[in-house]
Structure 1
Amino acid sequence: MTSAPDLRAYLRTLDAETLAELILEEAARDARLRRELELRALAQGKVGPVLDTLQRLLDSGTQADLTPLARRMVDGLEGASGAELRRALGLYARACASHPPDPVRLADWILGVAFNRPDWSGIDLTAFAGALGEPGLAHLRSIVDRVRTERAGKRRDIARRLAEQIAEITGDVETLLAILATKPPTPEVNLRIIRVLRAAGRHGEAIAHAARTIVPADRPRAGVLALRRAEFRRNPCAATYSALRAAAEPVGRWPDEQAAALELLTAREPAEAIPVYRLHVEELIERKDSACYREAALALRELRGLHRRADTADEFTEYLAELVETHKRKTRLLVELRNARIAMPRRRAATIGA
């Protein structure tokens, strides 16, 4: 009969890391043992070493479910330093990513920490996004949106911060921009808005916002014009075209800048030029001058060519029909369109020369 192995002797041969993993695996199954280990660690003030062990186990890719242990570690951190709190939260988030708990319960726990632990500086939802998933994030949003309607107070401020993170995680650009717009327009906030717009592919709006907010008001106009010109050349679109015009007109440079801008556009992809040419046409029509009507008709010919090059001739026909309908009382404009040999929409052709 084989005698039982000497477990004590065997355990003494193990390195500290292996032994710690065995104990933690058993603690994951035994709630009493888990709580006893946590109380001993906290009572001895050895938060750091326990967190070190937890991190090493996570780094090693252990298959053990460390989520309950990491959660209890966070919940038991009373009077710990801010660095220890942040580290414990980060490790708990990593454990949740490996073994996600119920997403709604996790969301409720996060809300409890955010609203009821004033000693904590905040919680990073991004780290928990994967574990929360759509159900957890939706539950978070429903509670946060309700708290945001409360009267001014600390809870509402916390809810706004959480709503900002939720919008960023879910890609809700409009909500994120609306929240940022309520903040004081500091350089940091303006840069954040610009980054959000760029990430959403709204480069024209990003450049226009930068033009309005980043350039100091006391910068010489020539310097502003040079900046607007460079922005337009980097990203030619309606927004940067309007910003260029706003900088050039006060110094009497718009005719030259406009000619150069339109020349640049015609040499680039038609899709980039079309929105700007439309804006150019509408600006000319707004001046209500015969010479401007003539120039608008010539610009429409250029626009028609751009649409043909872009293989979007039908879009030009629709645009022209809307334009004629909007300005149907401007008889002189219609005459100039005829003189420019622009085929008129059939329902409007009879009005020319009336």
Structure 2
Amino acid sequence: MVVLTEAKLRALAGARSFERGRGYVDAVSGIEVGDDWVRASVRGTERYEAELSLGGPRGLTGECDCPYGQEGNFCKHLVALGLTMMTRKADLPRQRRTARARARALDAWLSDLSREELLALVRDEIAEDRNVRRRLELRAASAEGDLAALRSRLHELFDIGPFAAYGYVEYADARAYADQAGQAVSAIRALAHSDRAAGAVILAREAIGLLATAAESVDDSDGRLGQIGTDLAAAHHDACRAARPDPEELAHWLVTHAVDDAADLTDLDPLDYEDVLGERGMDALRRHAVLAWQAHRTGWAEKNLMQRLTKAGRDVDTVIAVHTADLAPNGHTHLLIARELDTAGRSAEALEWAERGLRDTADLASVDTALVDHLTDRYARAGRLTDAVTLRRDHFTARRTLLTYRQLRAAAEAAGCWPAERQRALALLSTDTGRDLRARRGPVLVDALLDDEDIDAAWRAATEFGAHDAQWRTLADRTRATHPAEALSVYLRLAEPLTHQTGNRAYEELVALLLGIRACHHHLGTPDDFTAYVTALRATQKRKRNLMRLMDEHGL
């Protein structure tokens, strides 16, 4: 048996859950000890059942029905139970011996009972515990292969009535409902592994439908119904493997389910059934998927299923047909088609689709920029440099930004025609500067000239057309050595409003400007003027301790 230690619990739970588990030690109650397990209730936001397995090939493991535990994690409740048992480790061997003795005594007692006495015992339990009765009824119906009885019981298990006071199962009752609904999985699994697997296929489908209907009226915040759905899908797959239903009929059901809302609850994937469908069934699956898609070409589930099926079968033309049915107005879908064709080695067709994407885009300003990048790259690789420049020029004309300017420059430099293209582009930006202030970046013309390292032209453009403060700051930073007087006027203008602000960010910006002001006075040969400016500033700003500290750190 595994020896419990804090190190083992911490390793399984992680530092955070381990530390949180310490706070739940006092919430552990109702401890039961078995031969190689320990279980108890742990009170959290509600009461949870936690169980530690102390033996077996995997060593120490644990299960808890809290949301975190149900995801397969070693939760804080399991940590609390483990820590509690560590305080009782001296008594644990005796408790295990007692548990084994109780189990042997119970087994011996049951073995000594006559058939009539056993029946009486079971009937008493059935009368007192309806869950026991339901489980046994399901087992009896499964053993007899009574599909009508099983179907009736399934409807009872998925009925939300007993748990919904106002037609909706609230969170507090959702667990009890899920426990009841989960009994259906066991019954269907038992039937799937019998000689009546065909019946299990039918009942699994019905159960999935009943669960989907019920889920609309249940607060499944903890995801318990989703797990039941996944388990039902697995039971259906197992039943199909055993029963080998008609491939055509199975394919039709799989497609119908995949495009239904219930698919989200079961996560059932038709492509997982290839081992059951065989070649004939997979052909039928593709055929029914096409029919579903043709009936609802813009449906996400239909398109997704079609794309996955066609890619699995390497059917590029069908993938293209799916995309063609719903072409995006900005050329994005054309680009996807072009990439598929490129992958298939059909480069000429890929280029045609990419160029069609540009033609079909009503406004080049709204085109998917990735499509423009794709086409430009194709033109460049084919040596069509003039076409690459034309495309970048058209895109820049429609969407005048610093990025499109840079892209035009790169294409034109590669083609050896940048001076002429630059002149045209700057002329266009010069007529456009007023509207470009809307982006809070000032004229794109100033950005473009700065990016070209044409500082004098950028300064003239900023003076003539206006610029954003950040652009003026950049201009001042780049010209303070050559034009210190002009740069100084910019720094002083930008610094003045910051003296009326508080906060570390404003202080850092102000200090950066002060360093620029100091540099300008240095180049002008007027350091005394800077000293007078800083002295006056300190006198008015002395209450701002963080600003004073920053100025001291920078020798201001």
TM-score normalised by length of structure 2? 0.31
Please give the TM-score of this superposition, normalised by the length of structure 1. Answer: 0.44
Structure possessing the higher radius of gyration over alpha carbons: 2
